[in-house]
Structure 1
Amino acid sequence: MAGLLLAPLLAACGAAGPGDDAPSAGSVGAAPAATSWAPAPRRAQGLRVLAESGPRGFALHTRSGAKTFLPGINLGSSTPGHQPGEVQHIDAATYRGWFAQMHALHIRVVRSYTLHPPAFYDELARFNRAHPSSPLYLVQGVYLPLEDYNQPGRTLYTRAIDTAFTRELRQVSDAVHGDLVRPAVPGAAGGTYRTDVSPWVASWIVGVEWDPVGVAQTDRAMKRAAYRPGRYFAAPRGATATERWIARHMDQLATAEAKRGVSVPIAAANWPTADPLRHPTEPLASEDAVSVDAMHLLPTRAWPGGTFASFHAYPYYPDFQRSEKGLDATRWEGEPDRYAGYLRSLQRHFASRMPLVVSEFGVPSSIGSAHDGTRGRDQGSHSEQEAMAMDASMLRMMRSLKLAGGFVFSWEDEWFKRTWNTMEHTDPERRQLWHDPLTNEQWFGVVATDTEQVPDAAAELVPTDGEVEYVHVWGDHSFVHLEVTGRERTPTRLALDADVVPGPERADYRLRLDREADTAQVQVRKALDPIRLDTPGVPYRPDADAEWHDYALITNRSLQGRPAEFDQVGRLVRGSWDPEDPDYDSMATWTVDDAHRTVKVRLPWSMLGLADPSARLALGEGSPAERVTIDGIDLSLDVDGTPAQLDFTWPTWTRVGYTTRLKAGTDGLAEAYRDLAP
């Protein structure tokens, strides 16, 4: 391995100058005069080098000098109503709109995890030619087409897995250079790629978040597999079988790019589960069982683009961040910050060879949460303003730590996503048809995807006497809305019983709202409590034997003597959920409109036990839970002593309606992008 050496980082040069198309003033604030981000590639080893990365850091060569920090955004491959494998449905107009919005937010780099349809590359080139001094650079990903290397008897070296990745690497390289024709097949983009976007490719990130079971199987079974170092990338002595496999495929991509005459950094995806550090306080053995070390995936002298360590690193998982000794020695914004401490420990590990890029991070603006995080950065239960402020702060933190980049996850909310503490409550085949407020993974976007009312999903009641003048119930693709108007005054106390699944019980879920006490609580009948599905612990919560349970999500199972942790999502939040309201709070689920004598409540479908409202599929009893197709929900109300009854039903659906908008608080994130990439 004597030939292994990271390419030296060339000194930055070039006169700074104003961009010819600096973003204008708008809803996210006016930008100062910007320096030019026009590409200014160098020549090295006979190759065109737009960017390079090594011991001295990262450098993207532009006309105004080297840009050493990439503040970016991750772009997924789905829109509401679609699974990610249906990427082919995204059209040119959608990409055109996205790129314009990114530009207005001062975003300089977009990361794609996989190959998009030709329209993505056509529109990216069109946009960049129209904005030569402030183009949108691309970090292109290459996903593993077959991910079953963690199944019994299989490894990364399994022929089908190995050859599929080799083919994908070469084809994505061809597509980026505008030289590919391949059919679109389920799960992958295709078409005729004739647009060369390589002048704006800042780097590549290949592979996946490596599964610990699959890595362990590969390392054991293929420990003595033959290995020959590549011309451009090689694994040194002592590398694991997994690392040798990744290095070989990084070399395949570099070979394809070198044939096109270009070299930029190539990195492998990774995450804390497979980081090279030891975490003795981690309570889950699987989260510290294997290592995939970028220090064993090294470029040779022939590859001037170099490499970097790429990590999907979030501030709330794994658990070692909350307890590991020494992480709180790093401070941010005047406080000890364990997330910053973890990033610094990673950075120190790689510093002698390469910089660190946090290629995925963020917090979601969901009502539900799945884990407690550092300094309140939980995996959910954040308003939009809180989530955007946290993302902006973490992006600035990464620059302050002298990392080479930070990529916010993600551009737009993704309805198809699942998370561990709600996935057993829902139908995995149809998650993309509704937007579950309790599934945090669906709410990471900078762009909100607001649901529209489901057609014909409404019921009303107009009593002729009593305290209640009008009751209106209706549904959108996230919530069931209940609006109760008093005859003479605004209701003070409201009790709602919801009979969802067939059986002798007259209520399966219930709401108790008291306006004077300023409280509203949702409860679930013991036999239907979904927490029973998410943990093997018995009893699974302190009040497990009570007939009614306050609706909650479990956010951490009981581990190594530590008590289980819960998110009390059934404790409803009072406020306005109108995005046009200056006091808008995306966490709000009940409000009072005294001008119209009305109390309004919105309950997530999942908080009423729907596993799939689009098919009227409810979560039944048992473990695993029975799935029950229902006709509707019987609602019994008591409003200040006046009873009311109505049936709420709705049609099934296979198409969704939605609108998009920038989330509240995005102006602060845009300011961070602007400051970090002027």
Structure 2
Amino acid sequence: MGQHRRRRGQWAALAVMIAAVFTSLWWNGSGNRVESMEISKGVQTKFRTNGEYIEVYQNQAWKPFFTKGINLGASLPGHFPGELPITKEDYLRWFSMIDEMGANVIRIYTIHPPAFYEALVAFNQRKEGEPLYLMQGIWSPEELLIEKQDAFLPEIHEQFQQEIRDAVGAVYGAVTLPEKMGKASGKYRANAGPYLIGWHIGTEWDPVMVQKTNKLHQATEPYQGKHFRATPQASPFESWLAEMVDLVAEEESQYGWQHPMTFTNWVTTDPIQHPGEPIYHEDMVSVDPTHIEPIQWKAGYFASYHVYPYYPDLFRYDSDLKQVKNDQGEIDTYKAYLRKLKAHHDGLPIMVTEFGVPASWGNAHLGELGRDQGGHTEERQGEIDAQLMREIHAEGYAGGILFVWQDEWFKKTWNTMKFELPEDRRSLWLNVLTNESLFGVLGMHPGKEDLLTIDGDKADWEKLDEGQKQRLEMSRPGLSELWVTHDEAYLYVMAELSEEFDPKKQTLYLGFDTLPGGNRKAPELSGQTLDEGLETLVRLGDAQESEILIAANYDFHTRLYGKRYRMLPVKEESLQDNSGVFVPWKLAVGMEMEPPDSKAYYPMEEVVAGKLRRGTTDSDSPDYNSLTAWEAKGKIVELRIPWMLLGFTDPSSLQVMSYRDEGAAFVTETTKGIRIFPWTVERQAASQAPIAVESDKPYPLTKLPRYKWEPWEEVHYHERKKQSYTRIQQVFQELTEPNRKETKP
């Protein structure tokens, strides 16, 4: 099959050259031009596939083109994508930064508002050199497909076909879309078609839906269209896809253009067998791009996959992938997978259209070589993303498109989503434990980050207006002042102590009370009893011990995975009120797997999420660490704490996790504010008694002032390029052409 495909590609290239009687120049308003080739009467193209690569027409010749792309989302902080909040000015600003980064392609997943296409045309009109090209995605009816489990249903068929027609019209500036909830609308008059590199249809396919569609339509004959067809080996679902790709081609041909075609695919539905994948549904069915082929589409067709280094678990457990080493001499399952995947698509261009890791506090899955789904600094994010891009290039791929340009606050992740309540307010705060929110190269940073720097200096606190901060008046031994403020991501605390704080000599504790309940006594209190309990406890000392702990009976991680799912051991005594036990704050990174859903038993995996790193949040400092939580200098201690680590399910509406469990869902309560109880412990003191001990009576925590704030409906944020931006810029500048070196499976 590979040789036949290669011959077809050679004949197609020859046919294009014969048909090209002259070069067409598409002129825009500024006098710049987009050079293209006329491949038949009235039909032109700028890009084509040739063998295993993509080519661009430049200076009256076809030249190799390596895609160095970035995916672009449709949201801003404070909004969900369906609200379409991005303005033309936003797009123009971003395009300039993306171009400066060295990307040559922007991929979008669905139709954006007219402002996107207007901005792209305007940007390219004034840009010197090659334009910034567009890969246009066409969103499939994902929710309906998952719900109905049958791609051939008329309502799904018709909805997808209409989306295709709308998308083609939007790109060519020839459609007016009516207002519809969650959809782009308006008059599309900017013709971005000449800047298109290709069409990218569909979403990541649910394997159960694919399997059921195939079973329901076993008698379906392979689709035979005007421009694309399904091969005799095609499954019913692949035949359905061939029809949709053919419709895109037919719609585009009406505008006198042809561009390369592809559809979204991912590791879960790839055409490779993975005997080492532990979960059956991750390798239950395949969607094979080689079962679709162009018949009258000279621009060609290519395969594309979303490939992350940490999911599915085959990247960790499949021994077939542990045979390849990278340039550092390490066993590299990501590189091995890329090699196997490309070998299957012999003769067909293949591109990785999503890859990357997030710069987030939280982690959701473990990967080989430390390429986890989160828990990375901005610098480490850039290092990993650059490594992955180099491997994509080295394995002979036609390109790589990084996920994603901007941080997206509305996103959810499996291991935090049950704790973010109410769900419809996710976009109004940034949960840094939710890794999906922080894949961006362009950081969307919360409101106080440009005002407060965690560096042990109180000068920036003094510059805050009185309305931007609150002094908690309290008489505490060893404490001079305690100031508190907040933004969309963190609670900030600045403590000025009576004496210099030295973590080698002392441990500083900060107890937090958000609602009735919690620990009124604990070993950390060194004999002191409180009249109200603490939900969480911050301990600041050396690097190993600095962390935030959570009361055992409040710990919703254990309540979910231990008490409810029975995946973790639970000590009943620790779940009692005022048990006196504080435990590490953890996140699940792998669910317990056992037959029949998996091939063997795998225990649940979890990581500590409450470690508090010491450092600085000054992004201009060589010591900058994006995951910094605290710093101390002299008598000043500064701290920022992610909202969820304090038990908040939505700080914008003052919702905290309740102690109560009702049925299958967690319950929230509205907090009246936060009480903070500070004390220090001298390491050398024989009694280890805190400075708080003044009598045998319970300390009146209820007499301490609360930090309070008003609910918010609007967010404040600012953009800043992450440290990863420079790393991506470097690798994009390195990779100028595709790697044509032969690779072996």
User: Please, what TM-score do these two structures have when normalized by structure 2?
Assistant: 0.83
* Pair 1:551-2:610 in alignment: no
| Aligned match of 1:403 | 397
**1:50, distance to aligned residue in structure 2 (A):** 1.4
| Aligned match of 1:658 | 717
| Aligned match of 2:290 | 295
Secondary structure, in 3 states, of the residue corresponding to 1:469?
strand
CA distances 1:156-198 after superposition (whole Å, capped 9, x unpaired): 1222211111011011101111101112322111111111111
Structure 1, gaps ≥5 residues long: 14-36
| Aligned match of 1:85 | 82
CA contact (8 A) 1:384 1:663 kept: yes
Secondary structure, in 3 states, of the residue corresponding to 1:336?
coil
Please, which of 352, 363, 377 is the counterpart of residue 358 of structure 1?
352
* Pair 1:579-2:593 in alignment: no
* Pair 1:649-2:663 in alignment: no
CA contact (8 A) 1:513 1:520 kept: yes
| Aligned match of 1:630 | 671
* Pair 1:677-2:736 in alignment: yes
| Aligned match of 2:455 | none
- Return the alpha-carbon distance in structure 2 between the equivalents of residues 447 and 671 of structure 1: 16
CA contact (8 A) 1:267 1:310 kept: yes
Deviates more, 1:407-416 or 1:628-637: 628-637
Deviates more, 1:215-224 or 1:646-655: 215-224
* Pair 1:667-2:726 in alignment: yes
- Return the alpha-carbon distance in structure 1 between the equivalents of residues 620 and 125 of structure 2: 35
- Return the alpha-carbon distance in structure 1 between the equivalents of residues 553 and 239 of structure 2: 50
- Return the alpha-carbon distance in structure 2 between the equivalents of residues 6 and 642 of structure 1: 82
CA contact (8 A) 1:457 1:650 kept: no
- Return the alpha-carbon distance in structure 2 between the equivalents of residues 325 and 470 of structure 1: 58
Please, which of 286, 310, 321 is the counterpart of residue 327 of structure 1?
321
- Return the alpha-carbon distance in structure 1 between the equivalents of residues 549 and 413 of structure 2: 22
* Pair 1:283-2:278 in alignment: yes
- Return the alpha-carbon distance in structure 2 between the equivalents of residues 548 and 513 of structure 1: 11
Could you tell me which amino acid in structure 1 is paired with residue 510 of structure 2? L
- Return the alpha-carbon distance in structure 2 between the equivalents of residues 262 and 541 of structure 1: 62
**1:76, distance to aligned residue in structure 2 (A):** 0.4
**1:226, distance to aligned residue in structure 2 (A):** 5.6
Secondary structure, in 3 states, of the residue corresponding to 2:613?
coil
Could you tell me which amino acid in structure 2 is paired with residue 142 of structure 1? I
- Return the alpha-carbon distance in structure 2 between the equivalents of residues 543 and 240 of structure 1: 51
Please, which of 514, 525, 528 is the counterpart of residue 500 of structure 1?
514
Could you tell me which amino acid in structure 2 is paired with residue 496 of structure 1? L
> For residues 355 and 534 of structure 1, do their structure 2 counterparts lie closer, same or farther at Cα, with a shift above 3 Å needed?
farther
Deviates more, 1:634-643 or 1:567-576: 634-643
CA distances 1:309-362 after superposition (whole Å, capped 9, x unpaired): 11111000000011212323222222221101111111111113x121000000
CA contact (8 A) 1:73 1:111 kept: yes
Q: For residues 461-500 of structure 1, what are the structure 2 equivalents within 5 Å?
A: 461-463=472-474, 466-490=477-501, 492-500=506-514
CA contact (8 A) 1:108 1:677 kept: no
Secondary structure, in 3 states, of the residue corresponding to 1:625?
strand
Q: For residues 212-611 of structure 1, what are the structure 2 equivalents within 5 Å?
A: 212-225=207-220, 228-300=223-295, 302-334=296-328, 335-352=330-347, 354-427=348-421, 428-453=423-448, 458-463=469-474, 466-490=477-501, 492-503=506-517, 506-515=532-541, 519-531=545-557, 532-533=559-560, 537-540=565-568, 546=574, 547-559=581-593, 560-594=600-634, 597-611=635-649
Secondary structure, in 3 states, of the residue corresponding to 2:357?
coil
| Aligned match of 1:73 | 70
CA contact (8 A) 2:53 2:64 kept: no
Deviates more, 1:505-514 or 1:381-390: 505-514
- Return the alpha-carbon distance in structure 2 between the equivalents of residues 71 and 154 of structure 1: 35
CA contact (8 A) 1:543 1:549 kept: no
> For residues 342 and 516 of structure 1, do their structure 2 counterparts lie closer, same or farther at Cα, with a shift above 3 Å needed?
closer
**1:103, distance to aligned residue in structure 2 (A):** 1.4
> For residues 525 and 665 of structure 1, do their structure 2 counterparts lie closer, same or farther at Cα, with a shift above 3 Å needed?
same
- Return the alpha-carbon distance in structure 2 between the equivalents of residues 349 and 407 of structure 1: 21
CA contact (8 A) 2:441 2:724 kept: no
Deviates more, 1:131-140 or 1:324-333: 324-333
CA contact (8 A) 1:368 1:567 kept: no
> For residues 248 and 635 of structure 1, do their structure 2 counterparts lie closer, same or farther at Cα, with a shift above 3 Å needed?
same
* Pair 1:59-2:55 in alignment: yes
**1:517, distance to aligned residue in structure 2 (A):** 6.7
- Return the alpha-carbon distance in structure 2 between the equivalents of residues 451 and 674 of structure 1: 31
CA contact (8 A) 2:373 2:435 kept: yes
| Aligned match of 2:115 | 119
- Return the alpha-carbon distance in structure 1 between the equivalents of residues 235 and 620 of structure 2: 54
- Return the alpha-carbon distance in structure 2 between the equivalents of residues 247 and 465 of structure 1: 72
CA distances 1:484-508 after superposition (whole Å, capped 9, x unpaired): 1112323632222222233475435
Could you tell me which amino acid in structure 2 is paired with residue 501 of structure 1? L
Secondary structure, in 3 states, of the residue corresponding to 2:375?
coil
- Return the alpha-carbon distance in structure 1 between the equivalents of residues 625 and 212 of structure 2: 47
> For residues 171 and 328 of structure 1, do their structure 2 counterparts lie closer, same or farther at Cα, with a shift above 3 Å needed?
same
- Return the alpha-carbon distance in structure 2 between the equivalents of residues 235 and 545 of structure 1: 62
> For residues 633 and 457 of structure 1, do their structure 2 counterparts lie closer, same or farther at Cα, with a shift above 3 Å needed?
farther
Percent identity between matched residues is 32
- Return the alpha-carbon distance in structure 2 between the equivalents of residues 297 and 549 of structure 1: 54
Could you tell me which amino acid in structure 2 is paired with residue 573 of structure 1? R
Structure 2, gaps ≥5 residues long: 18-31, 450-464, 520-531, 575-580, 594-599, 682-689, 693-700, 738-745
Could you tell me which amino acid in structure 1 is paired with residue 487 of structure 2? D
> For residues 613 and 598 of structure 1, do their structure 2 counterparts lie closer, same or farther at Cα, with a shift above 3 Å needed?
same
CA contact (8 A) 2:264 2:305 kept: yes
Deviates more, 1:201-210 or 1:328-337: 328-337
| Aligned match of 1:22 | none
**1:375, distance to aligned residue in structure 2 (A):** 1.1
- Return the alpha-carbon distance in structure 2 between the equivalents of residues 254 and 543 of structure 1: 62
> For residues 178 and 441 of structure 1, do their structure 2 counterparts lie closer, same or farther at Cα, with a shift above 3 Å needed?
same
CA contact (8 A) 1:459 1:472 kept: yes
- Return the alpha-carbon distance in structure 2 between the equivalents of residues 475 and 130 of structure 1: 42
CA distances 1:277-317 after superposition (whole Å, capped 9, x unpaired): 111221222211221111122211x1111111111110000
CA contact (8 A) 1:58 1:355 kept: yes
**1:39, distance to aligned residue in structure 2 (A):** 4.7
CA distances 1:85-125 after superposition (whole Å, capped 9, x unpaired): 111x2111101101111111111110011111111111111
| Aligned match of 2:698 | none
CA contact (8 A) 1:6 1:54 kept: no
* Pair 1:192-2:187 in alignment: yes
Deviates more, 1:52-61 or 1:70-79: 52-61
Could you tell me which amino acid in structure 2 is paired with residue 359 of structure 1? T
CA contact (8 A) 2:149 2:208 kept: no
CA contact (8 A) 1:508 1:528 kept: no
CA contact (8 A) 2:37 2:46 kept: yes
- Return the alpha-carbon distance in structure 2 between the equivalents of residues 366 and 549 of structure 1: 22
- Return the alpha-carbon distance in structure 2 between the equivalents of residues 267 and 204 of structure 1: 6
- Return the alpha-carbon distance in structure 1 between the equivalents of residues 571 and 72 of structure 2: 42
Once superposed, what is the RMSD of the aligned Cα atoms? 2.5
Secondary structure, in 3 states, of the residue corresponding to 1:599?
strand
